[in-house]
Amino acid sequence: MYEELEKVRLACETCHKCPLGDLRTNSVFSDGVPNSKLMLIGEAPGYNEDMQGKPFVGRAGQLLDKIFEAVGLSREKDVYICNTLKCRPPENRDPLPAEKTACRPYLDEQIAILKPRIILLCGRVALTSFLPQASSISKVRGQWFDGPYGSKMMPIFHPSYLLRNPVKRPGSPKALMWDDIREIKRVYDSLSD
Ligand code: URA
């Protein structure tokens, strides 16, 4: 499994299937535990991720770590983290459809090799990559969908959105995220290793 994954990672490092390949400092393949039951798919690398070659290492990533830690999960032990795009779009703009199409086989290979039991679609870009018919993240977050290889898939808010909406009161994005992460942990604990 690790050898196959390493081949895909190396292919990303030298990829020029879309113009973002010419702009990157580093491709950003993954972080966390490859044989985890839980995979989180974000959007695309930002400035910090491009510099360090690791997903979710900026402010949004720190909040993501805190959310996992709140239910006793960590990227060092329990979670595999990756993105829909492996290279940073300039000025952190939304990924273009052509970029998503070019990069998609890498993500599909990550999923096919690792076969996670739970896939979290973190934010709108990941959501529409897997559930194109879904109207908005607010409508579908917290719900379970059937994912690839028999996995359970749940859309969740992106931590950047939570940083922009920091108030925690009943029904707010932060409160809903708290409900979602507890439900994720409940299902995570119910799955055999
Ligand atoms: N936002 C994402 O969606 N992915 C990252 O890796 C960093 C920020």
What ligand 1 atom has the least distance to the C-alpha of 84? 3
Question: Ligand 1 centre and the CA of 45: distance in Å?
Answer: 5
Beta-bridge mates of residue 122 = 156
- pLDDT at position 1: 77
Q: What is the pLDDT of residues 171-191, one digit of tens each?
A: 999 999 999 999 999 999 999
Q: What is the pLDDT of residues 38-50, one digit of tens each?
A: 999 999 999 999 9
Pocket test for ligand 1, best of 29, 43, 161 (most atoms within 8 A of CB): 43
Contact residues of ligand 1, CB 6 A cut-off: 42-46, 49, 55-56, 60-61, 83
Question: Ligand 1 centre and the CA of 85: distance in Å?
Answer: 9
- Please list, residue by residue across 177-193, b when 16 or more beta carbons sit within 10 angstroms of its beta carbon and e when fewer do: beebbebbbeebeeeee
- pLDDT at position 135: 86
What ligand 1 atom has the least distance to the C-alpha of 48? 7
Q: What is the pLDDT along the chain (193 residues), one digit of tens a residue?
A: 789 999 999 999 999 999 999 999 999 999 999 989 999 999 999 999 999 999 999 999 999 999 999 999 999 999 999 999 999 999 999 999 999 999 999 999 999 999 999 999 999 999 999 999 998 999 999 999 999 999 999 999 999 999 999 998 999 999 999 999 999 999 999 998 7
What ligand 1 atom has the least distance to the C-alpha of 125? 3
Own/partner pairs, 66-72, CB within 8 angstroms, 24+ separation: 67/159, 67/177, 67/181, 68/181, 70/178, 70/181, 71/181, 71/182, 71/184, 71/185, 72/185
